[in-house]
Amino acid sequence: MKKYLLIFLLFLSAVGFSQWQPLAFTALSGGDCDEVEIASDIFISDVNDSQAGSYGAIEIYNPTNATVNLSNYSVRRSGDYGSGIWAWETGQGGYPNLSGNLPPGGIYLIMVGTNGNVCNNVTYNMSLGQNAGINGNDQVQLRKNGVTIDDVGFPGSPGFSLVRKPDAEVPKAVFNSADWNITGQNCGSLGNHTINNAPVPEIDNISRYRDNPGTLPYTFCNTPTRVRVQMDTTGGGFTYSYNLQGTTTPVNVTNTTGIFSNLEEDTYTLTITIRRNNILFCTHIVSFNITGGTETSPIILLNP
């Protein structure tokens, strides 16, 4: 047994170890990921419109962990997206206020218009009457204390269901069609909503690659060296772009792998741009140092 162990140790001595050694990193100003909340407030989750007649429905969803008092909110509609001319707003011109408390995961349904293909499979919290109908190319906004927090643009023709995608960033004050699934009118989409409330991706580790450490004390991998960035990815449709810049070395490299080669001793700035469904989500900006020297602590083997 000792003979085989000796042979194994000699083999390791001959081929050497390869490992990733964690690097300490420091967050810098300019990154905004710590300020992001994927679902920070209630939002418009579904708009349903009849092909003929005035009927339509607007669904509001509460993705937060708190009960929301709706008295601070209003909904308004324009007949032409971007015109700035508002046909009606709840709480004004004789239209009722939004009212009541919306619990976490709760849905608030507003009926606008009364004739056409009316969805009777759901219970409405309020009705705005015949004259409040919606149509193609309309614009609807959800407002909080007089400030727009969510904006929705309608398809050009009537007779549709406009459903917020589960992984869309919400609410959003400027409409983005990429956040929505659009189909013909579908009453089954009303009264329920799913949201992927994934946490903001964080940096799991930044590591450097060390070759053939040998016996202790051993020397850090002589530069140039490789550095790897790994994210704590928990889903949510995120993609990443990594930019690395040196302080004294002429390094300015951008890639999508998070692996950088041929790095000399220096202080580096790493910018990680995170996108969700091809929309800018947030940015991490950190710095780390690559230095030489010796290491006398036990070897920590990480997955290569």
pLDDT for position 221: 52
Boundary (domain end) residue, out of 189, 224, 255: 189
276 and 154 within one domain: no
Q: Which of 160, 206, 216 is nearest to 183 (CA)?
A: 160
pLDDT for position 237: 67
Has residue 233 been placed in a domain? yes
pLDDT for position 301: 33
Has residue 48 been placed in a domain? yes
CA–CA distance, 96 with 182 (Å, rounded to integer): 29
pLDDT for position 36: 64
pLDDT for 10 beyond 60: no
Average pLDDT over residues 99-105: 92
Contact 164, 190 (CB under 8 A): no
Contact 154, 131 (CB under 8 A): no
31 and 47 within one domain: no
203 and 182 within one domain: no
104 and 53 within one domain: yes
Give residue 291's pLDDT band: very low, low, confident or very high (50, 70, 90). confident
Has residue 110 been placed in a domain? yes
127 and 205 within one domain: no
Average pLDDT over residues 188-212: 82
Question: What DSSP letter does each residue of 192-237 carry, written as one string?
Answer: ------PPPPEEEEEEEEEE---SSSEEPPPSSEEEEEEEE---SS
pLDDT for 78 beyond 80: yes
Of the listed ranges 88-92, 206-210, 247-251, the least confidently predicted one is 206-210
Q: What's the mean per-residue pLDDT of the chain?
A: 83
Boundary (domain end) residue, out of 189, 224, 256: 189
29 and 92 within one domain: no
Boundary (domain end) residue, out of 189, 219, 235: 189
**Structural domain span for residue 210:** 17-35+199-295
Has residue 8 been placed in a domain? no
Average pLDDT over residues 79-99: 93
Give residue 130's pLDDT band: very low, low, confident or very high (50, 70, 90). confident
Provide the CATH number for the domain around residue 118.
2.60.40
pLDDT for 277 beyond 80: no
Q: Which residues have C-beta within 8 Å of that of residue 236, sequence separation ≥ 6?
A: 38, 167, 196, 198, 201, 276
182 and 164 within one domain: yes
30 versus 177: the higher-pLDDT residue is: 177
281 and 204 within one domain: yes
CA–CA distance, 132 with 88 (Å, rounded to integer): 7
pLDDT for 300 beyond 70: no
Of the listed ranges 23-37, 142-156, 260-274, the least confidently predicted one is 23-37
91 and 152 within one domain: yes
50 and 178 within one domain: yes
Give residue 201's pLDDT band: very low, low, confident or very high (50, 70, 90). confident
75 and 115 within one domain: yes
Q: Which of 100, 63, 61, 92 is nearest to 75 (CA)?
A: 92
Helix ranges restricted to H, the chain? 2-15
Has residue 62 been placed in a domain? yes
27-57: pLDDT as tens digits: 998 888 876 656 779 999 999 999 999 999 9
Give residue 13's pLDDT band: very low, low, confident or very high (50, 70, 90). very low
226 and 152 within one domain: no
Give the chain's domain count: 2
pLDDT for position 18: 47
Has residue 244 been placed in a domain? yes
Instruction: Report the predicted TM-score, pTM, of the whole model to 2 decimal places.
Output: 0.59
Has residue 24 been placed in a domain? yes
Has residue 9 been placed in a domain? no
220-259: pLDDT as tens digits: 555 678 899 999 865 556 889 999 999 999 999 999 999 9
pLDDT for 302 beyond 70: no
